[in-house]
Chains A and B, each alone.
Chain A
Amino acid sequence: MASKAPKKTVAARKAAAPAKTPVIDDVKHLVKLMIEHDLVEVSVADGGRSIALKRGSSSQPAGGALSAGAAQTGSAAPAADKVEEPAELLVEVKSPMVGTLYTAASPDSDPYVAVGSYVDENTVVCIVEAMKVMNEVRAEVSGVITEICVKNAQPVEYGQVLFRVRPA
């Protein structure tokens, strides 16, 4: 029986094959260029062949834009704490730390601010307590409180929106 010819490795077979440029290689190359240069649409014509590619909007990170703050804050503020305002005009007062938020200096005191209160940069708007230390949070903006986004004794994280202020 005649012996079989030794099988060629994939690399050897590729090297032996006649040179050609399959459409898929061109498409792959174009896709790479589109990503690199953030192009949305490309069309190429070459003799008798043309390729047109359209790219959707840039994909979002797989993690999504889910704000972990949303996971933390719990229920939304009741309607009475809100005044309707076009969002662009409002400044957000955010928590500078992690801890438990208190809206007043003590259980018997009135809250520091209410909707409609005037504040300036140094006005204390709430307290965030951590490790038994009470930290005063200041508005750092002048204006009027339009929304109170948190409840008394609520846990807050860094960067969480506490108040919205219409700047004066």
Chain B
Amino acid sequence: MFHRILIANRGEVALRIIRTCKEMGIETVAVFSEADRNASYLHLADERICIGEAPPAESYLNIPRIIAAAEIADVEAIHPGYGFLAENAHFAEVCRDCKIAFIGPSVESMRALGDKIKAKEFARAAKVPTTPSSDGAVETVEEAVTTAGRIGYPVAVKAAGGGGGRGIRFAHNEATLRSCFKQARTEAEISFGDGRLYMEKCLENFRHVEVQLLGDMSGKVLHLGERECTVQRRRQKLIEESPAPNMPAGLRDEICNSAVRLAKEVGYHSAGTVEFIMDEDLNFYFMEVNTRIQVEHPVTEMILGQDIVKWQLRVAAGERIDMEQSDIVPRGWSIECRINAEDPAHGFRPSPGRVEAFVAPGGLGVRWDSHVYQGYAIPSCYDSLVGKLIVHRPSRGEAIATCRRALEEFVIYPTRTTIPLCRDILAHPKFQAGQWDTTYVEREMLKV
């Protein structure tokens, strides 16, 4: 097992990783930018190294500075967290070249799955259902129109180098397709450095269901169950839960097993998540693979009593997964609310700045993962996540009740947060029924 690792991230996930490392007796080195200099979670790390100014390009995305910090701190491994460099295959490669273990999958599987066109090919090879799509990259507008004729409108034009809900445009007819195609290419080039586009048939009104995977370097792959992440706003998740409601047992097994097949096809190890979309008839289709730990991993941890960060460290250190699929038995129900420093009353504009008063909820079944505390100044240059409220109770109804109760206990002043929106969503009959799609929040609650 590693003796010392560097955490190439900040905020909530950096604290998450520090916590597990402390329990495992692994020393932690936390890097930080000038904007995070006074964050108190840094003092829980064994060492702290300032790597640059606030902008991510000069700090958390700056590979030479992170590697330099890893070298002077003499660490054996780097955990990239989520976001920033977590899915950057080049960064993983640099770590490998510098003889520093990258706590994540192999460079090759990151490259393969980061290319969304290749990822679909792997899915097809693993007999995972995929939506009708283009035959690889679409070069010209005419090819796009022909493809749309074959697969049927509406279509999604997606960047091969995209992911996480970014780099997607929709066209309901030929005219729109013609007008957005060139723009989509330019945007892809600028945002991802890769102008390749592919097309998929759009499903209207679908659910988002994903499967947590865990693989080791011997090729063993297990699934840790599914999560429902349909409650979203603009393709960003707001509330997640596990298990997924309204999911027949046979279908759950089918989805989870298909994710495992895909991981084996790619030779995937470490933690990862396969995302699917599901239509009203419970047909599911492959969407993408996230080759990192996800924000919502705690709901899986709660129903299984497992520490996913610990598994990542063990796998990266070369250990075998010493449990079988039959040992993975979920208990109870878990729901997570992401709390962001955004003002729902004013178009979700960010609400950075000092948190003057802060009280977090507690009590039976409540877990609060956050780096924020009273007196903390939320920087304006990073994501707006304040923290994650996770509840775990024996049934879905009880989990919803505990979540609503816990949300009421929060005191966060004067920061504006999405807590009121979470409360409204949990009180809404559609949430209670678990009958929904990824746009219902915007359509029926935010009236956008």
A67 to B67, CA, bound (A): 22
Q: B40 contacts the other chain (Cβ, under 8 Å)?
A: yes
B40 neighbours in A (Cβ, 8 Å): 61-64
B416-442 interface mask toward A, CB cutoff 8 Å, 1 = contact, 0 = none?
A: 000000000000000000000000000
Give every chain B residue within 8 A of A62 (Cβ-Cβ).
40, 373-376
CA distance A124 to B311 in the complex (A): 47
**Consensus secondary structure, chain A interface:** loop
Cα(A71)–Cα(B37), bound, Å: 12
Query: In the complex where A155-B73, A157-B69 touch, is A68 in contact with B42 (Cβ < 8 A)?
Result: yes
CB of A6 to closest CB in B, whole Å = 22
Least distance between A36 CB and chain B CB atoms (Å): 8
A98 touches B38 (CB 8 A): no
Q: Is the interface on chain B under 10, 10 to 19, 20 to 34, or 35 or more residues?
A: 20 to 34
B447 within 8 A of A: no
B280 within 8 A of A: no
Give the docked Cα–Cα distance between A36 and B356 (Å): 10
Whether B145 sits at the interface, judged by CB under 8 Å, is no
Q: How far is the CB of B275 from chain A (nearest CB, A)?
A: 35
Q: Which of A64-88 contact B (CB under 8 A)?
A: 64-69, 71-72
Chain A contacts of B52 at CB under 8 A?
97-98, 158
Q: Are B73 and A68 touching (Cβ within 8 A)?
A: no
A63 and B39 within 8 A (CB): yes
B445 at the interface (CB under 8 A from A): no
Binding site for B on A (CB under 8 A): 35-36, 59-69, 71-72, 97-100, 130-131, 155-160
Other CB < 8 Å A-B pairs besides A98-B51, A99-B68, A130-B64, 13 of them?
Answer: A35-B356, A61-B376, A62-B40, A62-B373, A97-B65, A98-B65, A98-B68, A99-B71, A99-B72, A131-B67, A131-B98, A158-B52, A159-B34
On B, residues with C-beta under 8 Å from A are 32, 34, 37-40, 42-43, 47-53, 64-65, 67-69, 71-73, 98, 354, 356, 373-377, 414
